[in-house]
Structure 1
Amino acid sequence: MLCGKLPIVFLSTLASEKKDSTNSQIATYLLNHLDDIKDIGIQEMAKECSVAMSSISRFCKEIGLNDFNELRELLISTKMNFEQYSSSSKAKNRLEEYSLKVKESITMVEKSIDMQQINALCKEIQKYQQVGIFGLLKAGAVAFNLQSDLLMLGKQTYSHISYKQQL
């Protein structure tokens, strides 16, 4: 469920919580110590975050996990690196390779779109009085764009920024 999206969940927590909130403190610590957390326990993490152990447990539950051990297991198994599309030292070559990858991706999306499903989705959106639109980070921006477009077409929808609210 969350594997691979854990950093996004932490960033979403930072974006939706007050700066000095307990959850913000915990998320900030996790993002700054992604490798270190694999080797520490809940007591040490609570001490490092200047919060109670119960706050760490509550944070884990609020992001959709059972407990701290599940958080550690996910951190251990989650690959935390950025995929680069080019190893060329020349900016022009990197731009060309990146542009080619973007074009390939657009073609893949175009080929994968099922217009019958799009039409069915549009009918569902029209049919229901309450419609929710959600996404995290970049997908969140897309969700807000869709929300705005639908509003201009006379359909009011709702959305939440925080991962907790989306759950």
Structure 2
Amino acid sequence: MQIEKRIHKCSHLTPVENEIAHYILSHKDEVINYSIQELSEQIHVSKSAIHRFCKKIDFKGFNELKIQLTNDISADIYKEHDIDINYPFTLQDNPIEIATKLLELYEKTIQDTLSCLDKQKLVHATKLMSKATSIDIYTHAHNMNIAKNFQDKMLTIGKMVNCPESFYEQRLHALASNKNHIALILSYSAKASFILPILQKLNEKNTPCILVSGYQNNPFPQYICEHLGMSNCEELQDRIVQYSSHIALQYVMDILFGCIYNQDRSTNKKYVLNAMDYMDDRKL
């Protein structure tokens, strides 16, 4: 994961550590050639403070940070000629060129989303969802398609998922929720108007809430027990459609299903096989 993303994900940096972070991000080309002693002298902080900063953003030490910084510089150079996330193809592109550019967009979105995901958060979210008596998904608009796709996948292993569509239905589900439910909030920006009233009611009901959104987009951390971040390079309005955010959210939900399936793989596989004759009546 890029250093800038690691820093954004770390919410408990001290003022000194924020100063170190700012200097590193502002002087990447110089820092890759520094020793820890030279960096210490440049920003007038102790070597131990730099070492603590490296540990806090999940590096073993300063040398490992420099290796990642070198990779980040290479990625920045590549991005200068990279595909436009918001307008990935032009008027002059033929159908195959459009297809090729969208393939590149999808690959980069998935790679970026993978770099945003945290193993422990995925494990925790999976455990919460696996033990819940009901999984309720709160989302709207185009994200509802992804919610229903997840619902369909879960039904193939006998797991019930609710996808209330209207605001009215969502509020009814929130009122009926309890500590044995788990709520999934799907929103790229996490700014949709329906979110806060739902979170507040679910909080009253002691329902654990998992937010799936852009990796920096968690405006209500007091109500969220786990935040699964995804690629958020796409603009909220200045774009053709939701190409990148759609594929990122679909990827995260497919990962969650895979993790839940593996929680009890043998039982789930048996359920699918036993259901096959009933569900598939084709004469094959």
Normalised by the length of structure 1, the TM-score is: 0.55
| Number of the residue aligned with 1:26 | 20
Q: 1:8 aligns with which of 2, 5, 9?
A: 5
| Number of the residue aligned with 1:35 | 29
CA contact (8 A) 2:179 2:208 kept: no
Q: What runs of 5+ residues in structure 1 fail to find an aligned partner?
A: 87-93, 162-167
Using the TM superposition, give the Cα deviation of residue 118 of structure 1 relative to its aligned residue in structure 2, in angstroms.
6.7
Deviations 1:23-70 (A, max 9, x none): 100100011011211111101111122210000000000001111111
| Number of the residue aligned with 1:97 | 89
- Alpha-carbon separation, structure 1, partners of 2:43 and 2:75: 22
- Structure with greater proportional helix content: 1
Residue identity matched to 2:30 = D
Deviations 1:69-94 (A, max 9, x none): 111111122333236436xxxxxxx9
| Number of the residue aligned with 1:80 | 75
SS across alignment from 1:47: helix
Gap change, CA 1:98 and 1:32, over 3 Å in 2 = farther
Deviations 1:96-148 (A, max 9, x none): 8379879x86xxx968x54435776958xx78669799xxxx96x54x76973
CA contact (8 A) 2:154 2:161 kept: yes
Residue identity matched to 1:10 = I
Q: 1:148 aligns with which of 173, 181, 196?
A: 196
1:64 aligns with 2:67: no
CA contact (8 A) 1:85 1:98 kept: no
Q: What runs of 5+ residues in structure 2 fail to find an aligned partner?
A: 92-97, 107-142, 163-176, 210-223, 228-284
Residue identity matched to 2:89 = E
| Number of the residue aligned with 2:171 | none
- Alpha-carbon separation, structure 1, partners of 2:5 and 2:182: 24
CA contact (8 A) 1:10 1:30 kept: no
What is the root-mean-square deviation of aligned Cα atoms in Å? 4.6
Using the TM superposition, give the Cα deviation of residue 9 of structure 1 relative to its aligned residue in structure 2, in angstroms.
2.0
| Number of the residue aligned with 2:152 | 116
- Alpha-carbon separation, structure 1, partners of 2:196 and 2:9: 21
Normalised by the length of structure 2, the TM-score is: 0.36
Structure possessing the higher radius of gyration over alpha carbons:
2
Residue identity matched to 1:59 = F
Gap change, CA 1:96 and 1:27, over 3 Å in 2 = closer
SS across alignment from 2:32: helix
